[in-house]
Amino acid sequence: MTLTQTRPGPVRNTAERLSSVSSGNALELRGVTKLFGALAAISDVTLTVRPGERRAVLGSNGAGKTTLFNCVTGDFLPTSGTIRLFGEDVTSFPAHERIRRGLRRTYQISLLFGGLTVADNVYLACRGVSRGRFSLLRPRINDVLVARATELIEAVHLTPARDTLVANLSYGQQRQLEIALALAGAPRFILFDEPAAGLSPTERAELVSILTGLPAHIGFIIIEHDMDVALRVAESVTMLHNGRVFKEGTPEEIENDAEVQELYLGNGHG
Amino acid sequence: MTYAIRTTTTAQPTLLEKVPPLSWALALLLLVMPLFASNFVLFQIFGWTFILGMIGLSLMFLAGYGGMVSLIQMTVGGLAGYMVAILGTSGVPTISLGWPWWLYIPVAILIAAVFGTLVGALAVRTEGIYTIMITLAIASAFFYFTRQNYGLFNGYTGFNRVVPPDLFGLDWRQATPFYYLTLTCAALSYFAVVYVARSPFGLALQGVRDNPRRMGALGFSVTAHRILAYTFSSVIAAVGGILLVWQNAQVSPGTAGIPQVIDILVIAVVGGIRRPIGPFIGALIYVLLRVYSPDVLLAFGLSGERFKLLIGLGFLVIVFFSPDGVLGLWEKYKARREKQADPLRGGRP
Ligand SMILES: Nc1ncnc2c1ncn2[C@@H]1O[C@H](COP(=O)(O)OP(=O)(O)OP(=O)(O)O)[C@@H](O)[C@H]1O
Ligand SMILES: [Mg+2]
């Protein structure tokens, strides 16, 4: 079962060409600040992630983790600072331009198409990062993207529900669908926003196996309160606190850091 | 807004299996209608129903699939009608250019589509009530402009003797040819909408309706999709507008006046904006009321002019009882019957 497309699409080629000219980081944030009125949801965040790197972002409720993701994907434009994706300055790009360059995300609160079936949701995700978005011709039975959507549905164990309207899916199934949407096309860097929240232990184990099974060239950032999940899939950790980067290090360093324990692990979130 | 329009990319059953018997019966009935229906019924009732249904359908496409309630559809149709009069022939030879039909029809549709797209480009930056307001404002501006502009639109009088070309030696304003002409155009638009709803463009439009933010996060340009939806729907509205002008043999500011603009909304909502057949049902109800209610009112000793009140009341009743229009009522009734027939829920088997 392949989780990602082996044959890179045209979008990816362009993105790769662009990234080869530059520093070679998958993601680079410099002094990113996002204000909501007077509240600085994140302030002066500087962060670099290498291609293929798997990073966990930790932090208590309201630390600014989701806001960080929103700035990276372009859901919100940052108040100040620059964001580079595969070496290219994307700070002022709309979300869809960033996605077409290989960025993907999942949402903390599932953001799906309730009026469409599972198959249609995944098909749309595959279509969004390839050509023919405006095609008036229906996909044929042997359409590559339909086949690709079927594989993705299989990969997140939703095959029995493929023709179910998404509004009628269970919570856990919706979380799985979130992940399928993020894996569509040829992702190069994925942002997972609390993918394990609300999942049963079995579903969590499945999630971990999906994450660890991703091809090595795909880097990701995962926001996760469950340390078991976070530390099993990540090789580096960034701690956010009150919108600022508080600590960076390996999982061991963070786990054993006295300040972190006091601030985060100690107060019941671990 | 979330509508449950049921759609699937899975294995397609054959046409025969897919289409319910009721639809086959309806299609057959429509095809043989001229054998027994009077000329009045063919031309005035069905011809008009198909035309208004098409313009309503163009709104259904935007509202049902795109979540955008536009009041510009009748104006787009009116503009196409004007273009046919201006580019083709009419009773005002000083303005009409007398182009051949194979040129003026596509150009008229093209101009109307460009106009609809431009309105869309303005309107998609707004949401909900503001979309209604901005499109209504442009529709009113068009109405007053055509009334005051004599150089191109011939002002208050507009154009008379705007008739279809004599293709195949037929007079297309005769009842039976006109019936088949409008039926064909209506059926083509209907199937085009049904087909496109399942195309990448149509699916993406429904995605934009359900969740624009997520569509952006999947790589779609939400704005571009919304604007192109206006383009697509404008083509249908334009064809409807041309047929309307041919039916009346004239076009004037009143063709797309404010009441007509609102009537299209009423037709689509009364019929149901969730499915493409809805506007045609709405159009039939509207036309029947328009044509027959004055007689009924007169029989009760009331002024025939009161038909508008009747239509308004009908609109209120339907919107009150079923936000999904007549189609919604029908679906509720079906659901209730199925429930009764289900022995597990206490009904008779
Ligand atoms: N759209 C918004 N408008 C105003 N304030 C916002 C908005 N989004 C987030 N905030 C505020 O910014 C701060 C950071 O929120 P954010 O959602 O990024 O936190 P988080 O770290 O993801 O928390 P959680 O663990 O609860 O998901 C919070 O104080 C929140 O109230
Ligand atoms: Mg969050």
User: pLDDT, tens digit, for every residue of A61-93?
Assistant: 889 999 999 999 999 899 999 999 998 999 999
- Choose the final residue of a domain: B248, B277, B306: B277
Check pLDDT > 60 for residue B93.
yes
Cβ neighbours of B6 in A, within 8 Å: 165
Domain match, B227 and B261 both: yes
How far is it, in rounded angstroms, from Cα A199 to Cα A17?
39
Domain match, B127 and B5 both: no
How far is it, in rounded angstroms, from Cα B346 to Cα B342?
7
Determine the pLDDT at residue A198.
84
Determine the pLDDT at residue A84.
93
Check pLDDT > 80 for residue B1.
no
Amino acid sitting at position B147: R
Determine the pLDDT at residue B200.
92
How far is it, in rounded angstroms, from Cα B192 to Cα B240?
14
Whether B332 is in a domain gets the answer no
Which of A146-160, B159-173, B280-294 has the lowest average pLDDT?
A: B159-173
Domain match, B29 and B156 both: no
Domain match, B150 and B94 both: yes
Whether B249 is in a domain gets the answer yes
Residue with structure tokens 């909502």?
A: B269
CA-proximal residue: ligand 1, atom 29 (nearest): A62
Check pLDDT > 80 for residue B233.
yes
Phi-psi region of A76 (alpha: psi -120 to 50; beta: other; left: phi over 0): beta
Residue A50 half-sphere exposure, CB side, CA atoms within 13 Å?
7
Determine the pLDDT at residue B160.
87
Whether B311 is in a domain gets the answer no
Check pLDDT > 80 for residue A261.
no
Contacts of B14 (CB under 8 A, 6+ apart): none
Q: Is the CB of residue A185 below 6 angstroms from any atom belonging to ligand 1? A: no
Whether B265 is in a domain gets the answer yes
Domain match, B268 and B123 both: yes
Ligand 1 center to residue A67 CA distance, Å?
Answer: 6
Mean pLDDT of chain A: 84
**pLDDT band for position B62 (50/70/90)?**
very high
How far is it, in rounded angstroms, from Cα B244 to Cα B52?
8
- Choose the final residue of a domain: B244, B277, B310: B277
Check pLDDT > 50 for residue A10.
no
Question: Would you list which residues of chain A are within 8 Å, Cβ to Cβ, of chain B?
Answer: 73-75, 94-96, 99-100, 105, 107, 111-117, 119-120, 123-125, 127-129, 132-139, 141, 146, 149, 162-163, 165, 167, 181, 184-185
Q: Which of A75, A95, A135 sits opposite B201 (nearest CB)?
A: A135
Say whether B178 sits in a helix, a strand or coil.
Answer: helix
Domain match, B80 and B224 both: yes
- Choose the final residue of a domain: B277, B303, B331: B277
Contacts of A144 (CB under 8 A, 6+ apart): none
**Overall number of domains in chain B:** 2
Which parts of B249-277 fold into alpha helices (H)?
258-271
Domain match, B30 and B148 both: no
CA quadruple A221, A226, A232, A237: dihedral positive or negative?
positive
What percent of chain B has a predicted confidence (pLDDT) above 90? 46
What is the mean predicted confidence (pLDDT) over B251-262?
A: 90
ipTM: 0.82
Written as six digits, the tokens of A9 are: 């699409």
To test ligand 1's pocket by mutation, which of A32, A43, A67 has the most ligand atoms within 8 angstroms of CB?
A: A67
* Closest ligand 1 atom to Cα of A243: 14
**pLDDT band for position A264 (50/70/90)?**
low
Please give the residue that has the higher pLDDT: either B7 or A42: A42
* Global pTM exceeds 0.80: yes
Range of the domain at B14: 1-36
Check pLDDT > 70 for residue A265.
no
Domain match, B197 and B145 both: yes
Choose, out of A106, A108, A124, the residue to mutate when testing the contact with B (most B CBs < 10 Å): A124
Give the closest residue to B204 by CA, choosing from A78, A189, A116.
Answer: A116
To test ligand 1's pocket by mutation, which of A36, A45, A105 has the most ligand atoms within 8 angstroms of CB?
A: A36
Domain match, B95 and B3 both: no
Q: What is the pLDDT of residues A185-203, one digit of tens each?
A: 889 999 999 998 888 888 8
Check pLDDT > 50 for residue A20.
no
Domain match, B52 and B29 both: no
Please give the residue that has the higher pLDDT: either B253 or B23: B253
Please give the residue that has the higher pLDDT: either B293 or B8: B293
Which of A170-179, B140-149, B333-342 has the lowest average pLDDT?
A: B333-342
Contacts of A93 (CB under 8 A, 6+ apart): A74
Q: What are phi and psi of A9, to 5 degrees?
A: -80, 175
Q: What are phi and psi of A193, to 5 degrees?
A: -100, 100
Nearest CA in chain A to B199: A138
Determine the pLDDT at residue B343.
54
Written as six digits, the tokens of B153 are: 């639109």
Q: Is the CB of residue A56 below 6 angstroms from any atom belonging to ligand 1? A: no
- Kindly state the greatest CA–CA separation across chain A: 60
* Closest ligand 1 atom to Cα of A34: 12
Angle at B31 between CA B28 and CA B32, to 5 degrees: 90
**pLDDT band for position A104 (50/70/90)?**
very high
Task: Give the gap in angstroms from C-alpha A219 to the nearest C-alpha of chain B.
Answer: 18
How far is it, in rounded angstroms, from Cα B177 to Cα A50?
70
**pLDDT band for position B9 (50/70/90)?**
very low
Whether B309 is in a domain gets the answer no
Check pLDDT > 80 for residue A252.
yes
Domain match, B160 and B217 both: yes
Determine the pLDDT at residue B162.
80
In the DSSP assignment, the letter for residue B141 is: H
Contacts of B324 (CB under 8 A, 6+ apart): B272, B273, B274, B331
Check pLDDT > 90 for residue B54.
yes
Whether B65 is in a domain gets the answer yes
- Cβ contact (<8 Å) for B210 and A162? no
Whether B285 is in a domain gets the answer no
Cβ neighbours of A111 in B, within 8 Å: 211, 213-214, 217
Domain match, B73 and B7 both: no
Contacts of A16 (CB under 8 A, 6+ apart): A8, A86
Determine the pLDDT at residue A3.
54
What percent of chain B has a predicted confidence (pLDDT) above 70? 91
Please give the residue that has the higher pLDDT: either A19 or B198: B198
CA-proximal residue: ligand 1, atom 6 (nearest): A36
State which H helix or E strand residue A67 sits in. helix A65-73
Cβ neighbours of B222 in A, within 8 Å: 96
Whether B112 is in a domain gets the answer yes
Residue with structure tokens 């949407």?
A: A181
Q: What is the pLDDT of residues B302-322, one digit of tens each?
A: 776 777 777 777 778 877 777
What is the mean predicted confidence (pLDDT) over B230-242?
A: 96
